[in-house]
Amino acid sequence: MKKIHLRDVILGGQDGLVNVLGLSLGLFAAHSSARVILVAGLAAGFSEAVSMGGVAYTSALADKARISGPSKDSLAFEALIVGLSALVGAFIPIIPFIFFNIVVAIISAFIISIAILFLIGFARGRIMDEASPFRSGTQMVLIGILSSLAGFLIGLALKIT
């Protein structure tokens, strides 16, 4: 059985979640349409998952060429985990748009995403036996907030009327 590495899960999951959250906030700021946000989030999520998996594989191959390391099968498995994690992460901020009106959905997406980022960072800190898992969670939250803010500000700047 192949081993799932925490690094691959965090790499894909955090990237998928943060990118789609930033996209959702940007679209919300630019044009308040839950349907547009949902479609764009799904498109970005699937595209992100394929891209992250592919990049994880090709970058690992580049390292493998330089140093001896895992087999191509192991690298492909790790890339699959990165891609699937990105897809799961991408769904987190768009799920509220299926169930709620746009204002409740965007607030829910932000709160849920930030909470999950904190939990992932906190769990990473515990697994890695870091001195402060709380600090690790806070780092993940700050990354999420800064990235989301970038998307939101771009949406505000380029508002669609």
The DSSP line for 52-68 is: HHHHHHHHHHHHHHHS-
pLDDT at 117: 96
Greatest distance between any 2 Cα atoms in the chain: 55
Distances from the Cα of 42 to the Cα of 17, 49, 66, 102, 149, angstroms = 12, 11, 36, 16, 20
pLDDT at 1: 66
The parts of the chain modelled with pLDDT lower than 50 are none
pLDDT at 69: 65
Q: How far apart are CA 100 and CA 102, in angstroms?
A: 6
Helices (H) and strands (E) counted in the chain, each on its own, are 6, 0
pLDDT at 68: 66
Domain that holds residue 131: 6-157
| Number of domains, the chain | 1
